[in-house]
Structure 1
Amino acid sequence: MRKIIISTFLTLDGVLQAPGGPQEDTAGGFQWGGWSATYWDELMNQAMGSSMSQPFDLLLGRKTYEIFAAHWPYMQNDPTADLFNRIEKFVVSSKPQTLSWQNSTLVTGDVVAGLRTLKLQQGHDLLVNGSGKLIQTLLANDLADRLHIWTFPVTIGSGKRLFAEGTQPGNWELLGSTVSSTGVIMTSYQPGGPLKSGSFALEPPTEAELARRKKVAAED
């Protein structure tokens, strides 16, 4: 059974849109593309190399696929390009698409059923890069097996978010964390079961607390 592994760059305020360049994704009038580019150091390069050292296939949303397909096939003498051109690419789209990049397969129609079928197949784990809309589908349907989140010391205030509406409540178990020399926090998580909550409230509640709850209920 394959695992679906999400690898994403994130700002401190939760934005994942267009980390790589100004023209990567300008949807919604986004003006801050390329916010990750000036933070790279050797530790990050090593971590990225390690994440791609095991065999994997790519699982991409349609827009990220188009970004990749317009870039990697045209890179010369580049090990990452050679790898991405060679491996299987599974492309998730709500509509039929023509896929020009070699070794690309479309997942369309009932995409959630298609993703579940992919997971059940024998083969390499499926690595998700970018693909914000696809990530929302994976999180909403409990299809993510691992999250690699690199949080950059940047705030933007607007843009597409990692944890948008539809994300399911749950615990995530921290597998590891590292901090780069530029302040990027690199973390890895796996699902940790249902969300567990507790309370710091006094029991029994005070008269003041009961009055506060009554006020909140009336305001709602």
Structure 2
Amino acid sequence: MRKLVVSTFLTLDGVMQAPGGPGEDDDAGFAYGGWSVNYWDELMGEVMGRAMSTPFSLVLGRRTYDIFAAHWPRATEEEGAKPLNDAIKYVASRSRPTLEWSNSVLIEGDAAEGIAKLKQEDGPELQVHGSGHLIQTLLRHHLVDQYRLWVFPVVIGSGKRLFSDGTIPAALKLVDSVVSTTGVMIGTYQPAGEIVTGSFALD
């Protein structure tokens, strides 16, 4: 069985929209595209490199696929380009787009059912990058095995959030963490069942 990992950049208030640059996703007039760029340091590059040092496949929504496909095939000298270009890319889309990036496969039919089947197969871990709408589907169907959350010290106040309205309440367990020199907290979490509540009130 394959593990499905959601890896995403977040602001401190949980926004994941357009971390990489202006125009990446300006839905609803989002004006802060590129909010993650100035926080990058050497340690973050090392963490990303380790995540891509073992075989993986990508599971992407259509918008993220188009962003990646427009960049990585033409940026072969950049760090991280080879593993991304070599990986199998499974794409969830309501339409039937032409997938020109090498090793790209359209998920036929219902996305949740298709990804659940992929998880049952033998193969490398499935990594989800970006793909905010797709992640909401994965959350509703309990398909995420691990979260790698990169939390940046910036607050935006509006935008698409990883855990949006309708998220099913659940507990998580922190299994690894590191902090960059620029204050980015990189935490790895696993689902830990239902939330257990309690009270500090005195009897």
When the two structures are superposed, what TM-score results if normalisation uses the length of structure 1? 0.89
Matched position secondary structure for 2:15: coil
Please report how far the alpha carbon of residue 54 of structure 1 lies from its aligned counterpart in structure 2 after TM superposition. 1.3
In structure 2, the residue matched to 1:51 is 51
Superposition RMSD in Å: 1.2
Q: Where do 5+ consecutive residues of structure 1 fail to align?
A: 204-220
Please report how far the alpha carbon of residue 202 of structure 1 lies from its aligned counterpart in structure 2 after TM superposition. 5.0
Matched position secondary structure for 1:105: strand
- Quote the Cα distance in structure 1 between the aligned partners of 2:45 and 2:177: 15
Q: 1:79-136 deviations in whole A, cap 9, x for unaligned?
A: 5222212110000112222211111011142111111101001111101111111111
Alignment map for 1:42-191 (pairs within 5 Å): 42-191=42-191
Aligned residues with identical type, % of pairs = 55
Q: Where do 5+ consecutive residues of structure 2 fail to align?
A: none
Aligned partners of 1:146 and 1:190 also within 8 Å: yes
Q: Closer, same or farther in 2 for the Cα pair 1:30/1:108, shift >3 Å?
A: farther
Matched position secondary structure for 1:190: strand
In structure 1, the residue matched to 2:194 is 194
Counterpart residue type for residue 123 of structure 2: G
Q: 1:147-201 deviations in whole A, cap 9, x for unaligned?
A: 0001100011111001012322111110011111111111000111122112234
Aligned partners of 2:52 and 2:80 also within 8 Å: no
| Greater shift in the superposed pair: 33-42 or 78-87 | 78-87
Q: Closer, same or farther in 2 for the Cα pair 1:119/1:193, shift >3 Å?
A: same
Aligned partners of 1:95 and 1:108 also within 8 Å: no
Count of aligned pairs between the two proteins: 203
Please report how far the alpha carbon of residue 78 of structure 1 lies from its aligned counterpart in structure 2 after TM superposition. 3.1
| Greater shift in the superposed pair: 108-117 or 36-45 | 108-117
- Quote the Cα distance in structure 2 between the aligned partners of 1:143 and 1:162: 15
Larger Rg: 1
- Quote the Cα distance in structure 2 between the aligned partners of 1:108 and 1:16: 27
Please report how far the alpha carbon of residue 18 of structure 1 lies from its aligned counterpart in structure 2 after TM superposition. 0.4
- Quote the Cα distance in structure 2 between the aligned partners of 1:105 and 1:76: 21
Counterpart residue type for residue 107 of structure 2: V
